[in-house]
A = this chain, B = another copy of it.
Amino acid sequence: MQRLSSSLKEQSKKIGLVPTMGFLHEGHLSLIGIAKKNSDVVVVSIFVNPTQFGSNEDYNGYPRDLARDKKLLEKREVDILFIPRLKDMYPNGYTTYVEVEKLSRVLCGKSRPIHFRGVTTIVAKLFNIVRPDIAVFGEKDAQQAIIIKRMVKDLNFPVKIITGPTIREQDGLAVSSRNTYLSEAERKDAPVLHQALLLAKNLIEKGETDVNKIVSSIKKLIQKKKSAKIDYISIVRKDTLKPVSRIQGEVLIALAVRFGEARLIDNITIKGGIKA
Nearest Cβ on chain B to A65's Cβ, whole angstroms: 27
Chain B, residue nearest A96 (CB): B154
Contact B95 A102 (CB under 8 A): yes
Contact B96 A99 (CB under 8 A): yes
Contact A124 B155 (CB under 8 A): yes
Stretch binding the partner chain, chosen from A4-12, A136-144, A197-205, A257-265: A4-12
Chain B, residue nearest A2 (CB): B158
- A121 surroundings in chain B (CB, below 8 A): 155
Nearest Cβ on chain B to A235's Cβ, whole angstroms: 20
Nearest Cβ on chain B to A22's Cβ, whole angstroms: 20
Name A206-250 residues within 8 Å CB distance of B. 239-240
| A15, B9: Cα distance in complex, Å | 15
Per-position 1/0 for A99-141, Cβ under 8 A of B: 1111100000000000000001100110011010000000000
Binding site for B on A (CB under 8 A): 2, 6, 9-10, 12, 91, 93-103, 120-121, 124-125, 128-129, 131, 150-151, 153-158, 239-240
Contact B96 A158 (CB under 8 A): no
Q: A94-B154, A95-B154, A128-B156 are in contact. List 18 more A-B contacts (CB 8 A).
A: A9-B9, A10-B10, A10-B12, A93-B102, A93-B150, A93-B240, A95-B102, A96-B99, A96-B100, A96-B150, A96-B154, A96-B155, A98-B98, A98-B124, A98-B155, A99-B99, A128-B155, A128-B157
- A91 surroundings in chain B (CB, below 8 A): 153
Chain B, residue nearest A11 (CB): B10
Chain B, residue nearest A94 (CB): B154
Contact A103 B95 (CB under 8 A): yes
| A102, B125: Cα distance in complex, Å | 19
Contact B96 A151 (CB under 8 A): yes
- A151 surroundings in chain B (CB, below 8 A): 96
| A155, B96: Cα distance in complex, Å | 7
| A155, B2: Cα distance in complex, Å | 12
Chain B, residue nearest A97 (CB): B99
Nearest Cβ on chain B to A21's Cβ, whole angstroms: 18
| A177, B245: Cα distance in complex, Å | 51
- A101 surroundings in chain B (CB, below 8 A): 95-97
Nearest Cβ on chain B to A186's Cβ, whole angstroms: 36
Contact A125 B155 (CB under 8 A): yes
